[in-house]
Amino acid sequence: MRYIQSNEFKKLIEDNNKFVLNCHISPDLDSVASVCAMSQYLKSIDKEFDIISTDVIPESYKYLPYADKIIQTKFEDIEFSKYDCWISLDSERLNQTGLSFKPKINIINIDHHPKNDIEGTVNVVNIESSSTCELLFELFNDIDFKIDKTLATTLLSGVVYDTNFFQQKNTTAVTHFVAYKLMELGADNNYINFKVKRSNSIGVIKLWGEFNKRLKFDKRYNFVWTAIPYKVYSKNLEDVSSTAEYSNMIARTVVGSKFSMVMSEKLPNNLTMSIRSRVPGFDVSLIAQEMDGGGHKDASGAVVKGLPFKEAVKVALKYARKHAKQNFVPEIPLD
């Protein structure tokens, strides 16, 4: 058995009937895939459940079974007394779930982030896992839940996304083994790749063009950054995953940079950012944590709320420069 908490998890599921699941704010594919995978498990044992997302689910993720069942509403407005148990997946901190309080119901906390502090009734947290979907593969095996082709594709989606298709430092031998087993079970990697990497709308490409226009290289601290205000973002918006995808595919590749920061004001006075390390050893999560965000050493995110666009950008750049100065990586020479 991989996790000592697996039996506790199974018992709490069996002893309750109605569950609420949620995506974290600004949901990525691991977040969406993990709630969809858990939904398939709950459906197979005839449990009732609702899936909530505070933010819009990217269109490119809606190939996943159960993604069409996700209700977009403020998670904080949910009447938790209607449910027996909340299953929190892929959320490091309470505020990343969209909540400012802990519901007074049973909580199952499943995550792989290093600073997880949700403290549920049952906690299955493994910071060595590449993704929450990798962890779920092991958890489902522990409880002898059969993974079919559909579920295998869902789980592999989260694994490949959170490793940036096996390019990031969180990719381990275990990650490759899990991917191998999922593909043996029928997971279609080519289908996932087509949906995630080769299905951008014209609007997304135009939005990337706006990021490109504003792209800057901080020569003193060796990082790349770009930021667009709400009036530009809202005009070009077609897919809420566009900021993270631009970070992964373009901004983090700039020669001579240690990391990149891509910022978009998705709502007025609400600046969302994707921060990506380019060189091994540079920990971008330290920058995100300064703004109550989180994530991994290679890829993190944060939100600055309540400030006008230009002021929010100044705050983000202040923390970026602080850690660019402190977080020196002598073993990785710049190009």
Question: CATH no. for residue 319?
Answer: 3.10.310.30
In a domain, residue 1? The reply is no
Residue 19: inside a domain, yes or no? yes
Co-location of 193 and 231 in the same domain: no
Domain boundary among 169, 197, 225: 197
Of residues 255, 290, 256, the one with CA closest to residue 273: 290
For 105, what's the count of Cα atoms within 13 Å in the CB-facing half-sphere?
A: 20
- Residue 176 CA from chain centroid, whole number: 20
259 close to 273: Cβ distance less than 8 angstroms? no
Tell me what pLDDT residue 146 has.
97
Nearest to 87 by CA among 175, 134, 18: 18
> Where is 237: in which H helix or E strand?
none
Same-domain status, 13 and 133: yes
Residue 198 CB neighbours (<10 A): 8
Domain tally, the chain: 2
The verdict on residue 16 lying in a domain is yes
- My answer on whether 149 and 191 are in the same domain is yes
Distance (Å, rounded) from C-alpha 77 to C-alpha 32? 20
Question: What per-residue confidence (pLDDT) applies to 239?
Answer: 60
Same domain, 13 and 159: yes
One domain, residues 193 and 212:
no
Residue 125 C-alpha from the chain's centroid:
15
Residue 88 lies in a domain: yes
Please report whether residue 51 resides in a domain.
yes
Closest CA relative to residue 248, chosen from 334, 164, 155:
164
Same domain, residue pair 175 and 207 = no
Domain end residue (candidates: 197, 223, 245): 197
Tokens at 7, concatenated: 């039996």
Distance CA 231, CA 99 (A): 27
* Residue owning tokens 């993270």: 244
* Residue whose tokens read 């990031």: 168
Residue 253 within a domain: yes
Residue 55 has a CB neighbour count (10 Å cut-off) of 19
Would you say residue 208 lies in a domain?
A: yes
Only one residue has tokens 């918006």, namely 237
- pLDDT digits over 197-230, tens only? 888 888 888 899 999 999 999 999 999 999 999 9
Q: Looking at the structure, do residues 163 and 207 belong to the same domain, yes or no? A: no
Q: What is the pLDDT of residue 331?
A: 47
pTM of the model: 0.88
Which CA distances in Å does 173 have to 41, 177, 265?
A: 26, 6, 38
Single-letter code of the amino acid located at 130: S
- Domain end, chosen from 162, 197, 232, is at 197
Q: How far apart are the C-alpha atoms of 323 and 300, rounded to whole Å?
A: 14
Q: Which CATH number does the domain housing residue 94 bear?
A: 3.90.1640.10
- Four-residue CA torsion sign, 24, 241, 167, 288: negative
DSSP letter string, 191-222: HHHHHHHS---HHHHHHHHHHHHT-EEETTTT
**Within this chain, do residues 38 and 181 fall inside the same structural domain, yes or no?**
yes
Please indicate, yes or no, whether residues 192 and 243 belong to a single structural domain of this protein: no
Residue 335 lies in a domain: no
Residues 175 and 220 in one domain: no
Query: What type of residue is 162?
Result: D
Identity of the residue numbered 150: T
HSE (CB half, 13 Å, CA atoms) of 37?
Answer: 35
Asked whether residue 183 falls in the same domain as residue 238, the answer is: no
pLDDT tens, residue by residue, 89-104: 999 999 999 999 999 9
CA neighbours closer than 13 Å in the CB half-sphere of residue 29: 30
Between helix 149-162 and helix 29-44 the angle, nearest 10°, is 160
Q: How many CB atoms lie within 10 A of CB 330?
A: 6
My answer on whether 77 and 184 are in the same domain is yes
Q: What is the residue-level pLDDT of the chain in tens, covering all 335 positions?
A: 899 999 999 999 999 999 999 999 989 999 999 999 999 999 999 999 999 999 989 888 999 999 999 999 999 999 999 999 999 999 999 999 999 999 999 999 999 998 899 999 999 999 999 999 999 999 999 999 999 999 999 999 999 999 989 988 889 999 999 999 999 999 999 999 999 888 888 888 889 999 999 999 999 999 999 999 999 998 866 566 688 889 988 999 999 999 999 999 989 999 999 999 999 889 999 999 999 888 888 999 999 999 999 999 999 999 999 999 876 555 455 55
Task: Show the domain range for 259.
Answer: 202-326
